Amino acid sequence: EQCVRELGKLDILVNNAAIQNYRTSITQLTDEDIEATFETNILGMFYMAMAASKVLPLHSSGCIINTTSVTAYAGEAHLLDYSATKGAITAFTRGLSQQLASKGIRVNAVAPGPIWTPLIPASFPRTAMLTWQKQVPMQRAGQPSEVGPCYVFLASDDGSYFSG
């Protein structure tokens, strides 16, 4: 509502906030770790989508783009709470796309692999960072500029057929 008041309208919501906890054992995760990860990664996305769906333009170009992760599909032994939220985001995206399609609001997700962002050195031990990027076919982490065009496409008229 504040966006609409200050900017006049809201066309696109990109849900991209996330935290992760690198732990070598499930017993190292604290209640606080788990709650913070779920509150940030999936509950925050629910609340943002709820608010945005009230003001996104109907039957035109409104869209919601959620950031999930390849860990939603393969899991990650050292990111249990993070991977679980990314799986929830994938299911949430698919369900919400079905719910909002009749209103003309598209809902999609982008599931990047390892991308060099400030989250990585803040979350991973140095030794894990060196092997982490080797787990993908390109044998390196991507850059935000390499995944950004996916969001631009999904938000554009060129992506108007895609939802879910």
Catalytic residues: 82
The residue among 146, 144, 147, 154 whose CA lies nearest residue 108 is 154
- Please, where are the H alpha helices in 9-125? 31-38, 44-55, 71-74, 80-100, 119-123
- Looking up tokens 């044998």 gives 139
Query: What percent helix, strand, coil does the chain show, rounded to 5?
Result: 55, 10, 35
